[in-house]
Amino acid sequence: MNDLKIFAGPANQALAHDICRYLNLPIGKISIGRFPDGEISCKIDEDVRGRDVFVVQPTCPPVNENLMELLVMIDSFKRASSYRLTAVIPYFGYARQDRKDAGRVPITAKLVANLITRAGADRVLAMDLHAAQIQGFFDVPVDHLYAAPVLNNHFQSMELEKDEIVVVSADEGSIKRAVGHANRLGVPLAIVDKRRISADTTKSTNIIGASVEGKTALMFDDMISTAGSICSAAEVIHRHGARAIYAAATHGVLVGPAIERLKASPFAGVIITDSIPLPPAKALPSITVLSVASLLGQAIKRIHRNESVSMMFQ
């Protein structure tokens, strides 16, 4: 492990330090600043020539600032002659723009993948991409991690009886994710029937599948952004008699009216991970933050040793 170096970008330094503690490694020394006109400056404060370098930097809000910092850091390490450079992106921004769903619009997820590749990244380590096909947008290897084991372990630690639990998919697009969680937890599945009324309005009315009456409902998603869909689904589940409702997501983006919606929702708890730092202003009593540092640390160790990453999930 002597040739392994882990550096923290400004976006989520706490997570990078936790990864280093898990691996029993010192955090790399790097200085990120601003010139008077706002341009980003970067200086690597230690030798990285011939080293296996990992840069931890999610592209969470402010997305453009964090993305540009990542690109500048990647360029710095390539010019400092690192042996291999892995961009560790726990949350990959612009992931929802992954296809042309209208005329004259960009595929920004592909553009960002090109930028990261051309900047000099030799491989990418990401977690719960919004769309799995984004892995194919990169012209370098991508290791895709899942936070499902961390989320499932949390609910198993609550020692709920299996016959009291129902996994609920908030919409048709989350069915595959919900099926995976239901199978791992050994519980039944229900689906909220969500109908689109207009381009920006949806209505959730019915529940298909297992009954939620008197049960603890668990809802899983890759991210909670404005919380509109998941709170709307929770209201439907609540009206159908669920005893308790929990939401779990890998990425707590929590922008716009998300916090106010979660405050007014019937959730007994909201579980997210530290892939994105949670500002104190958004830290509700109902929100629980789980660490994915050990998951990322194990993946980094396996990549460094040229071992299988997919074996972590088998």
State the Cα–Cα distance between residues 151 and 220, nearest whole angstrom: 9
Nearest C-alpha neighbor of 88 from the set 144, 151, 155, 170? 144
Which of 196, 249, 205 has the alpha carbon at shortest distance from 227? 249
Distance CA 219, CA 223 (A): 11
Strands (E), 35-188: 40-44, 52-56, 84-89, 123-127, 142-145, 165-169
C-alpha 132/C-alpha 139 separation (Å) is 15
Whether 194 is catalytic: yes
Q: Which among 162, 194, 215, 263 is annotated as catalytic? A: 194
* C-alpha separations of 55 from 13, 98, 138, 206, 212 in Å: 11, 24, 17, 45, 43
Residues 166 and 64: their CA atoms lie apart, in Å, by 39
CA distance 32 to 75: 13
Is 109 in a helix, a strand, or coil? helix
Alpha helices by DSSP H, 47-147: 63-79, 108-119
CA neighbor of 271 nearest in space, from 244, 248, 245, 246 = 248
Backbone angles phi, psi at 203, to 5 degrees: -135, 125
The owner of tokens 């639990």 is: 165
Q: State CA 95 to chain mean position distance.
A: 11
Supply the residues annotated as catalytic. 194
